[in-house]
Amino acid sequence: MRERIRRNVGLGMAVILLVSSLGVPPASAGTVREGKSLAEAEMDVRSGPVEYNGSEQKPKVSIHLDGVPLREGVDYRLSYADNLDAGTAVVMATGTGAYHGSREAKFTILPRTVSAQALQIEAGCQKEYDGTTKASPTVSVQVLPGDQVEVRCTAAYDTCFVGREKTVTVSGLHFGGPDGDNYRLETSDLVLKTTGQITPQLPDFQKSAALAKGHSLDLRTLFTDAWKGEARFQLTGEALGCTLQGTTLTAGQTLGTVKLQVTMTGWDENGDGIDEYSGDSGIDYLTVTVVDKESQPPGNGGGVGQPGFSLQGPTAVTYGQSISFQTTGGAGTGKVTFWVEPRSGRGAATIDSNGVLQGTQTGSVLVYAKKDGDDRYESIQADPIEVTIRPAKLTIQVHNKTAAVGDPVPALTQADYTVSGLVGRDTLAKAPTLSYGAAPNLSLPGVVPIQAAGAVAPAGDNYDPNITYVPGTLTIREVPVYPITVAAMVNGAVATDCQAAEPGTTVTLTVRPAEGFRLEKLTAASGGRALSLRKTAERVYTFSMPEGAVTVTAQFVQETPEQGPFPFTDVPETAWYYDSVVYVYTHGLMNGTGPTTFQPNAPTTRGMVVTILYRMEGSPEAASWSPFGDVDPNAYYAAPVAWAAWNGIVNGYSATTFGPQDRVTREQLAAILYRYAEYKGCEVSQRGDLTQFVDAGQIHTYAREALSWANRMELIQGKGKGILDPRGLAARAQVAAMLQRFQEKILA
């Protein structure tokens, strides 16, 4: 197929006619747009912001394309949007002639400025005394013809009391109404003044009432609670057996109407001689009708009769669901009764004595409430409420399932879905069919949808036939392996038979208390949840590996916490190291050099220090030999040195020399404790300032980092006068103090 292009003269539209190689035109032809697009043009609104004037704003624009000015009506035409009211308006240029496309710009229409002189306040605002200074003057504004603008403000009298020619201050002026946003005040904090008056509050009372024979009525309750004046009453004419005591009228047994003269006295609230509550109502009497039983309340609901007895509650409920109804108003001791009646041939519900309704058949019912009468009041029935009982909606939720790679495809049964929305013993007319959205491939991890369909709601109209289905998934996953971590602990250790395991694997824990200690508490937890531990032998426990990492923690306590008298006579109670020696002795970390001696100033050997740490760790099993030729395999420190060496806690002077009988220096002790803290998983990033010590230059390079940490953690401190003495020997008392601080500050 080849192309023939017929070109028009000049710029415009060109038609491309595609002709097959056989000379037969194809079924359709396309068009090519020539000329330039306004999309890349520069467009500016010449006038800038304009002010609202009640008419559409159509500012001119300038458009340049490639530096060439374009002409309105020749190269483009203009249209406008949102260009009447104050706000952001749009002008759009659409290409014509040699130009196509469009370009738009926005411009601002500012609200019209209104001066204070354009505002008018209607003089003489007035209100009846209500105890507040709130005023409601009428303020108007001159605006453009046809605009509707309300002036809104906050206004207050100078005082809240009755008086004429009171000053009214008007502030917070702003505009509202349909066209209010198109105007703004020239001065935002404008304050205006006018005058007004507050008149006394007139008494408002019920002019007639009914009273059951033999009962009493406090006539003062016929007045509104707001009026504070005083009212006095006097029976006039025939009393019909009624008696009046103060403001309380008691009816006799004769039916009829009695008349009472009312004398009212005002009340001066602020003592200025002008009453805030007027005693002049224009009416100086009221009537009370004695009846067998009262049936109508006072018009103002003043506490007698059955004021406003009514029923409240929802107007719709779903089949099988419950809603509650309440009544308000009424008086006396009569019982309130609820009942329902069908609104039409369909619809049914039950309602109990507490007003709880349950829909039992779709349709509509009327809910009624009645308050029984008593010896004073007649019964009263509230207006009924129509309630629509809607069909229940059913949802079938498919359960999610999991399988491991290599497992067989799980079967889908009735246990794999849940139906919600069924009422009572109702059941589906037809159960759903479950199926996989695609054939599961259990040779690879993945997710396969599980779908439900084909269920039928119970027969009848109580259920929506359109059932909602929520699909589930089959997740195929590789069996994961999760880590097992043993937390740092003191006075014992816990060993695991593996460092990681698959879910469902049985993991074994072996507890190893330090000498003189016993296990107090053992916990294995995953995701904040404690796992069930099973004791299978002395000091041996197992648990089933969950789907998540596990942390094991243990607490150890002394087997014999009660100690006899402190035996060491060479450790006086006044010595600075007394508490530390007591601590290491009672915790089984250090023993005496004899039955009654501790020798606090005697040096400590490297083998002794390693043995103490070995006891703190619970005397774990260690290699039967150490790499050091100078460590006697039968010596008490043989196993501790082997354990410490294989765990990187101690190094020798060389690959074959450890020096177990050598006296330990302060910097050596710091290095051993530092590496033991690392072994326990403790934080060891803290550093002290060693430059404060004049002998800091004597610290060996291998011990500088450890000694800085030990000094920061207050394990090893200076000896005074800026002396650290890193190469000085660590006496037994000093070692005791360091061990106490290490356990309390680092391991605790």
Q: What is the DSSP string of 63-118?
A: EEETTEEP-BTTTEEEEEES-SSSEEEEEEEEE-TTEESEEEEEEEEEPEEE-GGG
Spatial CA neighbour of 217 closest among 293, 304, 300: 304
Write out the two tokens for 301: 């609901």
Q: Which regions of the chain carry the CATH code 2.60.40.1380?
A: 208-291
Distance CA 256, CA 242 (A): 10
Q: Which contiguous run of DSSP H or E holds residue 249?
A: strand 248-250
* pLDDT value at residue 361: 93
Q: Which contiguous run of DSSP H or E holds residue 612?
A: helix 606-616
Strand order in the sheet with 401-404: 401-404, 472-477, 446-453, 433-436
Q: Count other Cβ atoms within 10 Å, centred on residue 486.
A: 18
Write out the two tokens for 214: 């033999």
CA 467 to chain centroid = 33
- 162, with CB counted inside 10 A (0-12, 13-18, 19+), is buried
* pLDDT value at residue 280: 80
* pLDDT value at residue 24: 39
* Fold (CATH) for 208-291: Immunoglobulin-like (2.60.40)
Model's pTM, two decimal places? Answer: 0.44
CA 632 to chain centroid = 66
Distance CA 472, CA 328 (A): 49
* pLDDT value at residue 748: 62
Distance CA 91, CA 407 (A): 68
Beta bridge partners of 18: 3
Residues near 47 by beta carbon (within 8 Å), at least 6 away in sequence: 59, 60, 107
* pLDDT value at residue 34: 55
Distance CA 748, CA 745 (A): 6
Contact 571, 583 (CB under 8 A): no
* pLDDT value at residue 208: 86
Write out the two tokens for 555: 């607490």
Q: Count other Cβ atoms within 10 Å, centred on residue 656.
A: 12
* pLDDT value at residue 563: 54
Domain at 37-110: CATH code: 2.60.40
Distance CA 22, CA 16 (A): 17
Spatial CA neighbour of 533 closest among 500, 514, 508, 504: 508
Domain 482-558 = CATH 2.60.40 = yes
Spatial CA neighbour of 479 closest among 559, 575, 417, 407: 407
Q: Where are the beta strands (DSSP E) in 423-532?
A: 433-436, 446-453, 468-470, 472-477, 482-486, 492-496, 500-501, 506-513, 517-526, 529-530
Q: Which regions of the chain carry the CATH code 2.60.40.1080?
A: 310-390
494-507 as b/e, with b when 16 or more CB fall inside 10 Å?
Answer: bebeeebbeeebeb
> Could you say which of 1.10.287, 2.60.40, 3.90.25, 1.20.120 is the CATH number of the domain covering 395-477?
2.60.40
12-42 as b/e, with b when 16 or more CB fall inside 10 Å?
Answer: eeeeeeeeeeeeeeeeeeeeeeeebebeebe
Report phi then psi at 608, rounded to 5: -65, -45
Q: Where are the beta strands (DSSP E) in 343-441?
A: 348-351, 356-361, 363-371, 380-381, 385-390, 395-398, 401-404, 417-420, 433-436
pLDDT digits (tens, 9 = 90+) for 137-182: 999 999 999 999 999 999 999 999 999 989 999 999 999 999 999 9
Beta bridge partners of 120: 140
Distance CA 556, CA 492 (A): 7
pLDDT digits (tens, 9 = 90+) for 324-377: 999 988 878 889 999 999 987 789 999 999 999 999 999 999 999 998 888 888
Q: Count other Cβ atoms within 10 Å, centred on residue 724.
A: 22
Strands 506-513 and 500-501: unpaired
- Positions of the chain with pLDDT under 70: 1-34, 225, 283, 296-307, 560-564, 621-625, 748
Report phi then psi at 358, rounded to 5: -125, 130
Distance CA 419, CA 163 (A): 73
Beta bridge partners of 290: 211, 256
Write out the two tokens for 463: 């259920």
* pLDDT value at residue 309: 85
> In the block, which residue shows the tokens 């309130």?
336
Distance CA 573, CA 555 (A): 30
Write out the two tokens for 385: 């409420």
Report phi then psi at 739, rounded to 5: -65, -40
Strands 395-398 and 363-371: unpaired
Spatial CA neighbour of 72 closest among 48, 52, 46, 53: 46
3-state SS class at 667:
helix
Distance CA 156, CA 568 (A): 89
Spatial CA neighbour of 217 closest among 182, 260, 155: 260
Write out the two tokens for 408: 């067989």
Residues near 741 by beta carbon (within 8 Å), at least 6 away in sequence: 713, 714, 715
> Could you say which of 2.60.40.1080, 3.40.50.12780, 3.30.930.10, 3.30.9.10 is the CATH number of the domain covering 310-390?
2.60.40.1080
